[in-house]
Amino acid sequence: MNIVLVGCSKGIQPTTKTELENGTGKLVTHTLDPKVKQNDYRIVRQSLELFIKYVKAITNGALDVQLGFIELDTLCLPVSVSTKKPYVASGDYGLVLNALTKEAKDSTDWFLISYPSHVPDLPVFDDESFITGGMGGDSKGGPVFIADDKWVTRKPAHLGKGIYTDIERRIYLPQWLQHEFFHHLYRIYPELKLEVNGHDWFDRKFWASDFVGQFETDYYTETLHKRLQVQCEPLSNKLITRVENTQQAEFAQLSIDELIGSYSLDDIQNNWHEGNILKESDKYFWRNKANVQWQVMPSFTEGRLKTGADCPYPGQDFFLELYKSVEGDVYPGVISLKFGGGIYKKRFGLMRQSTPMELALGNYTRVPNNDASNTGSLLKSQGEIVWKNDAGDQWQLIKDVNDESLIHTSNSTTPNEKLQLILINSECGLYNLGFKYLNYYYWKPKRLLTDESPQVIKAVQDLQFAKGFGTYTINLDEVFTDIKGDSLLHFVTSKDTTLIKATINNQKLMLYGGDEGKTTVYIMALDKNGGLAIDEFDIVVKSAISGINEQMTSAGISVSPNITHDYVFVTGNTNDYRLVMMSAIDGYQELIPLSESMNKIDLRHLASGLYFLTFTDTITGESQWNKVIKY
């Protein structure tokens, strides 16, 4: 936070109530009260001390406010006094910001501007209050506190008379700073609608239904603990606005053409709050809804669109805001423009209106991973997204925001094929776990390495089916688990989808019979962190067997039906076998408990149709079948 001390102010100052009402008086020049600079800015530091501690407290220790001082001794700020209540005695703080060096503006998160007071200092005005500042913003979206020098030296009329004592200054000024600071907080969280028309908290009916209390500071406490501190993006992130070099690599991947489109403030109050970036010939312009336009020139190394002499706000540039996850990962996708203290949000090219397609960028590994062509990265260069695998192949992709996919262009080996993103919504935003391409899944590494991944607790044994076997169901809750109890997402693919078709519904894997042959099936479980567990098993499909060969026995197991009473008897050494009965028609499946000798299976509850008794050796994994027809 830089404290900017302006050396001079000048303007017409009234000497009587009549002159005040008429806007007349004497042209006077003021100089900064020398007490402001004395003893290493002692009274300024006193004024800020408690507020600085407050900021550290409400950000849970994440923010330390470091003070700096900039003296503009040669600047003389034009000031004036309004003619109607509430009286305002101040100047245009934008002139002060424009007088700062680019380095000073870029390296500062917050400003406090103090200038020589223009409040009429005569007995006739002793009972009048004059507003001399408040809360503004710089072009990066950072807060600008504004106050004249008398604000830290003497008590204003509405508080009393005389010079502040050190104790009074330490107590009162932080309260004023808090008031102005919350104006800024409500401005940078417009979606919360905590301040809509200005000072809304003075109307108790405006307060949210879960807010208690009565006074202004009660409202700050309520909004802090019940709204702001529970936001996914920490306050400390929102309050840092300086231009940092840490995002240069992301800015370098941008293209001015991808920024063409519409932007607007959340709180649109006039036609200057909506606009478009557009291209005319080889130049780019910002044109607002009031039909006023000025040229913008990309300077991506600085993360901004520069403006020129035609800009009605001299010296103000558009700053580009990139998408940033709660974990702090930055993506080369612009989500808004910061200009004049306002945040003009992008209104096109964002998934679900808030997230850029660049969320898909990163490294991926296919399941199954057979060679270098199965791993690679989604990259961005000069505004274009490309897929580059580790075998050296590279293809350009086109964004499809509505379908949330990336589409191969004609230079690909698979033109028009999709990389269908696998997105999840969490409490704190949208995440991309991977994508599906040509029936295979490509997964990103998990985001938080310390978060335990799902586990395979009971691997599926290799399976054998007769051709046209119908449906086989596997309960995936028995295969996978998550230590923390997180809900899991399940996916399935196979090497040969013509042999076995597989779908997942309600945590159950359904296998459908196909042609004869052998394939490997891969079932996957993911948590929302991207933690992955994989189980793979082989499936062999053989030609249908009829006659006596349908009665498949092992280790002395025999199966005998009793048609009269709808029973099937299983005898023999069944201790090491798992028996599942399933319908060939509707996917019904039932686990049948076995004993070592006689087992009677009651079929009376079953509908008529064809069923399979599948015996699986729990040691070797080999499976055998019997057909059962229920009439």
Last residue of a domain, one of 237, 256, 283: 237
Question: Is pLDDT at 445 greater than 90 in this prediction?
Answer: yes
Give first-to-last CA distance, the chain, whole Å: 85
Q: Is residue 402 part of a domain?
A: yes
Q: Please give the C-alpha separations between residue 367 and each of 51, 387, 388, 523, 537, in angstroms, as whole numbers.
A: 54, 17, 17, 9, 13
Report d(CA 81, CA 87) in Å as an integer.
7
Q: Are residues 464 and 511 in the same domain?
A: yes
Report d(CA 316, CA 105) in Å as an integer.
11
Q: Are residues 500 and 590 in the same domain?
A: no
pLDDT confidence of 463, banded at 50, 70, 90? confident
Report d(CA 3, CA 333) in Å as an integer.
33
Q: Is residue 449 part of a domain?
A: no
Instruction: Provide the 10 A C-beta neighbour count for residue 363.
Output: 14
> With b meaning 16 or more CB within 10 Å and e meaning fewer, what string describes 523-534?
bbbbbbbbbbbb
Question: Is pLDDT at 419 greater than 90 in this prediction?
Answer: yes
Report d(CA 452, CA 555) in Å as an integer.
42
Is residue 517 within 8 A of residue 545, CB to CB? The reply is no
Last residue of a domain, one of 542, 567, 593: 542
Q: What is the value of pTM for the model shown? A: 0.69
Q: Are residues 536 and 551 in the same domain?
A: no
Question: Is pLDDT at 546 greater than 70 in this prediction?
Answer: no
DSSP 373: G
Please give the average per-residue pLDDT across 284-292, as a whole number: 97
E strands within 469-576?
471-475, 480-481, 489-494, 501-505, 508-512, 517-526, 532-542, 558-562, 567-571
Q: Are residues 367 and 437 in the same domain?
A: yes
pLDDT of res. 584: 74
Report d(CA 345, CA 40) in Å as an integer.
41
Please give the average per-residue pLDDT across 446-455, as a whole number: 92
Q: Higher pLDDT residue, 612 or 294?
A: 294
Q: Are residues 55 and 186 in the same domain?
A: yes
Q: Are residues 111 and 41 in the same domain?
A: yes
Q: Are residues 313 and 230 in the same domain?
A: no
Question: Is pLDDT at 232 greater than 80 in this prediction?
Answer: no
State the residue for tokens 């991944």: 453
Q: Are residues 232 and 90 in the same domain?
A: yes
3-state secondary structure string, 78-104? EEEECCCCCEEEEECHHHHHHCCCHHH
Range of weakest confidence among 67-76, 410-419, 592-601: 592-601
Q: Is residue 33 part of a domain?
A: yes
Q: 234 preceded by cis ω (within 30°)?
A: no
Q: Please give the C-alpha separations between residue 452 and each of 486, 490, 526, 537, in angstroms, as whole numbers.
A: 10, 17, 11, 24
pLDDT of res. 567: 80
Report d(CA 23, CA 25) in Å as an integer.
7
pLDDT of res. 562: 65
CA-based torsion, 344, 347, 351, 357: positive or negative: negative
Largest CA distance in the chain: 119
pLDDT averaged over the chain?
90
Per-residue pLDDT reduced to its tens digit, 1-45: 999 999 999 999 999 999 999 999 999 999 999 999 999 999 999
Q: Is residue 160 part of a domain?
A: yes
Q: Are residues 564 and 515 in the same domain?
A: no
State the residue for tokens 């989604």: 378
Question: Is pLDDT at 467 greater than 90 in this prediction?
Answer: no
Q: Are residues 371 and 437 in the same domain?
A: yes
Cβ-in-10-Å burial (0-12, 13-18, 19+) of 407 comes to middle
Q: Is residue 553 part of a domain?
A: yes
Question: Is pLDDT at 522 greater than 90 in this prediction?
Answer: yes
Lookup: tokens for 15: 């000497």
pLDDT of res. 424: 93
Nearest-CA neighbor of 121 among 12, 7, 8, 14?
14
State the residue for tokens 């035609």: 310
pLDDT of res. 563: 59
pLDDT of res. 597: 65
Report the CATH number that the domain containing residue 475 is assigned in CATH.
Answer: 2.60.40.10
Report d(CA 631, CA 628) in Å as an integer.
10
Q: Is residue 450 part of a domain?
A: no
Per-residue pLDDT reduced to its tens digit, 179-194: 999 999 999 888 889 9
Percent of the chain with pLDDT over 70: 96
Q: Are residues 363 and 439 in the same domain?
A: yes
Cβ-in-10-Å burial (0-12, 13-18, 19+) of 30 comes to buried
Question: Is pLDDT at 571 greater than 80 in this prediction?
Answer: no
User: How many domains does the chain contain in total?
Assistant: 5
Report the CATH number that the domain containing residue 302 is assigned in CATH.
Answer: 2.40.128
Amino acid in position 79: V
Please give the average per-residue pLDDT across 377-400, as a whole number: 95
Which structural domain, as residue segments, surrounds residue 601? Answer: 547-630
Q: Is residue 448 part of a domain?
A: no
Question: Is pLDDT at 48 greater than 50 in this prediction?
Answer: yes
Per-residue pLDDT reduced to its tens digit, 237-274: 889 988 877 788 999 999 999 999 999 998 898 999 99
pLDDT of res. 556: 61
Instruction: Provide the 10 A C-beta neighbour count for residue 505.
Output: 10
Report d(CA 436, CA 453) in Å as an integer.
21
Last residue of a domain, one of 509, 542, 575: 542
Report the CATH number that the domain containing residue 569 is assigned in CATH.
Answer: 2.60.40.3080
pLDDT of res. 75: 97
Q: Are residues 27 and 70 in the same domain?
A: yes
> With b meaning 16 or more CB within 10 Å and e meaning fewer, what string describes 165-183?
eeeebbebbbebbbebbbb
Q: Is residue 17 part of a domain?
A: yes
| Helices and strands (H, E) in the chain, number of each type | 8, 42
